[in-house]
Structure formats: structure tokens, C-alpha cells
């Protein structure tokens, strides 16, 4: 496999459920990102990991909990979500943070719906 793979592609959950989103990259990159994409809004950066260390948390509510066990895998653990959390969650990777103008490469996202 190549590129950035996200699972599941679609997820419907109730507000009291706990679920996890998974992202895997096969590009040999060292930085990984979580973004939220809502209709008619710009992509919102949530978390950044560089060489497995979290380098940015963009004021994300604690009901979203990221985990990066190694440079190839990134998880987003979800619990007690709200209806406004329904969105497309995108994972991206890049060579590393701070690397001059290396683009981020995105997965196809997980479409999350909160009932």
C-alpha cells in the first residue's frame, strides 16, 4: 500500500459511545496531523505530531484524544462527542515539521456522524 490510509471511512456513533479513528502512512514521513473539515469552513488543524511527539494541540476539547505510537500510525480516540463534532476528519503526513515547503499528503478521511 502507498499513501495515507484512514479507517473507518464512515462512522456513526451516539454521544455516549467511545470509538477510535486510525491513520497509517506508507510514505516514510515523520510528521502526522489531524484536521477537521466542516462544510463551508477551512480545514481546522487539531493536532500535530513530529517524530511521535505532540508538537501542537490547537485548543481541541478533551473529548478528542490523539495517540501516535510510531511515525507511521496515528489514532484519534473519541468519547462523549457532541452533534457539532459531526464532520470529515482528515489525517495528513509530511516529511517533518519545519521542513521548508514539503507538502502535506492527506488520507481520504473518516466521515463522522454523531446522533
Partner 1 sequence: EDQVTQSPEALRLQEGESSSLNCSYTVSGLRGLFWYRQDPGKGPEFLFTLYSAGEEKEKERLKATLTKKESFLHITAPKPEDSATYLCAVHLNTDKLIFGTGTRLQVFP
Which residues contribute to the site for partner 1 (CB under 8 A)?
A: 4, 6, 40-43, 45, 90, 92, 97-98, 100-101, 103-109, 111
DSSP string, 98-112: T-TTPPPEE---EEE
92 touches 107 (CB < 8 A): yes
Query: Residue 80 Cβ, how far from partner 1 at the closest point, in Å?
Result: 27
Select 43 or 79, whichever has its Cβ closest to partner 1: 43
Query: Residue 29 Cβ, how far from partner 1 at the closest point, in Å?
Result: 13
* Rounded CA separation 97/65 (Å): 21
Amino acid at each position: 500500500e502507498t499513501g495515507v490510509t484512514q479507517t473507518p471511512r464512515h462512522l456513526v456513533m451516539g454521544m455516549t459511545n467511545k470509538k477510535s479513528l486510525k491513520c497509517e502512512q506508507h510514505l516514510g514521513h515523520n510528521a502526522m496531523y489531524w484536521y477537521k473539515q466542516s462544510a463551508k469552513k477551512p480545514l481546522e488543524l487539531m493536532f500535530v505530531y513530529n517524530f511521535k511527539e505532540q508538537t501542537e494541540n490547537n485548543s481541541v476539547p478533551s473529548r478528542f484524544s490523539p495517540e501516535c505510537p510510531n511515525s507511521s500510525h496515528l489514532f484519534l480516540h473519541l468519547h462523549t462527542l457532541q452533534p457539532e463534532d459531526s464532520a470529515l476528519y482528515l489525517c495528513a503526513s509530511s516529511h517533518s515539521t519545519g521542513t521548508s515547503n514539503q507538502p502535506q499528503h492527506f488520507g481520504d478521511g473518516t466521515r463522522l456522524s454523531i446522533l
